[in-house]
Amino acid sequence: MIISIPVGFRALPLPVAQLSLAAVLQCGQSFRWSVFPLPYPDFSVNPDAPRHEYRVCLRDRVVCLRQTPDTLFYRAVYPSPSLDPKEEANKDAETLSWIRDYFQLDVDLLDLYSQWSKLDPVFHKLKDRFEGIRVLRQDPFECLLSFICSSNNNITRITKMVRALCTQFSSPVISLPPPNAEPGTELEPYHPFPPPSALSAPEVTATLRTLGFGYRAEFIQKTAKMLADNHNTSATSSAKMQEPAELWLTTLRQMSTSEARNELLKFMGVGRKVADCVMLMSLDKREVVPVDTHVHQIATKHYGMSSSSKSKAVKTTMTPKLYDELSSKFVGIWGEYAGWAHCVLFTSDLKAFASYGLETSSPSPSAPPSMSTTPTISAASTPSASPAKRKRAASKINVVKTEVVATVAEVSEDGSLAERVKRRRQLRVVATDPSK
């Protein structure tokens, strides 16, 4: 099979089993990729030719990707066309290294798939249908704001909102025609994701509301302002560089899962689910399994999971306790890369998963053995403390109101989710209203 390299693209050998762009770029991890169908006259001539081009704007360039069963084609387009060749080569190397980082290509997905298959019969039956699904390593600020938008929402609308955020609050770096377009086709502007400083002004809330963000408008602006106020203390030297607040968010990669979660929960509009998504998809917390209502449904139906306290039907509400139970059970099943396994099963092809359930649900509830017992969970995912210590910490917060920050720092080692939320509320007061 001969595949010609598209003009301007470089080739990176990569089996589609290691990465499937079609599955990964549109499954609700990132909401900013544009997809273009490639108008080939006849695919029967070359059935393996790429059908789509994917594009996204990164800082000063637009990255374009195409894929065949064994090759990833990539190129970047820059605003200034006449660079000297050496500079050009540098930038291309930069683009390749960004791709390797963004798709985490050093992680062998085939290894993981075979591990999960041994650990989980349900996964074993499904794995062939979900090739090449991996967790992206996204920019933390973009990830945080995108998932604040995700509450009570669907992928289509989140995508529209994130797009609106970019077109409204950042300048386009370049305008390009769609791939394989006729001459004279209208150019399309490409906007990078806006930095915190562009979203922190109070008027931003109203603008976002007119753009259809609803109650999330305030969350976005408050979160951006909190980041800018706390971390953008010195000016950013270059427009191409990240702001200090963005760099600070990235440092959460160095922290433990529970520490990073505590930091994220301080932001307005960020609860457990959003925090976990941000940690999994941008902060290297690969064991974290975010739980939403859909995961809950599948968990009870296919894995025999149900809240230990309430043995009601599938109609139970998602309490913090239930969330913890479900999340830790999946970590117990899938292990170190549990979040990645979750991604394969739940955020790719939900309909295929549902149909699988219809086929096999009646004969035998083939739940994995680890379901029945409480699995051992790493300390990082479920911090525990003596009840006495916890109580002391909680009461301290209620009494002391003036030195909240110091108190929080002291007790932030542990605590239930509810307690963390309480602490967050007080922290927000300090962070957003210094006068009080």
> Which of 236/432 has CB closer to DNA?
432
Residue 423 engages DNA in binding (rule: CB under 7 A):
no
Name the one residue in this structure whose structure tokens are 């609700």. 28
Cα–Cα distance between 170 and 161 in angstroms, integer? 14
Helix (H, G, I), strand (E, B) or coil at 37: strand
Point out which residues pair with 215 in neighbouring strands. Answer: none
**Minimum CB distance to DNA smaller for 14 or for 148:** 148
Closest CA to 72 of 115, 20, 124, 111: 20
Q: Between residues 58 and 291, which has the closer beta carbon with respect to DNA?
A: 291
List CB contacts of 367: < 8 A, sequence separation 6 or more. Answer: 122, 302, 303, 304
Q: To the nearest whole angstrom, how small is the minimum distance from the Cβ of residue 426 to DNA?
A: 11
Q: For the window 214-233, what string marks contact with DNA as x by the rule CB under 7 A?
A: xx---x--------------
**Residue 319 near DNA by CB under 7 A:** yes
Q: Out of 222, 266, 273, 329, which one is annotated catalytic?
A: 273
Q: What is the DSSP letter of 6?
A: P
Q: How many residues bind DNA (CB under 7 A)?
A: 47
Contacts 24+ apart (CB under 8 A), 257-265: 257/285, 257/287, 257/288, 257/380, 257/381, 258/380, 258/381, 258/383, 258/414, 259/412, 260/285, 261/420, 262/412, 262/420, 262/423, 264/144, 265/420, 265/421, 265/424
| 273 catalytically annotated | yes
| 392 forms part of the interface with DNA (CB under 7 A) | no
By CB under 7 A, name the one of 273, 286, 420, 423 that touches DNA.
273
Position among 15, 179, 320, 375 found at the interface with DNA (CB under 7 A): 320
Q: Which is nearer to DNA, 255 or 421 (CB)?
A: 421
Binding span for DNA by CB under 7 A among 44-52, 82-90, 289-297, 369-377: 289-297
Which residue reads 């980082």 in tokens? Answer: 101
- Point out the residues that are catalytic: 273
Q: Residues interacting with DNA, by CB under 7 A?
A: 27-28, 150-157, 209, 212-215, 219, 267-275, 291-294, 309-310, 317-321, 346-347, 350, 390-391, 394, 416, 418-419, 421, 425
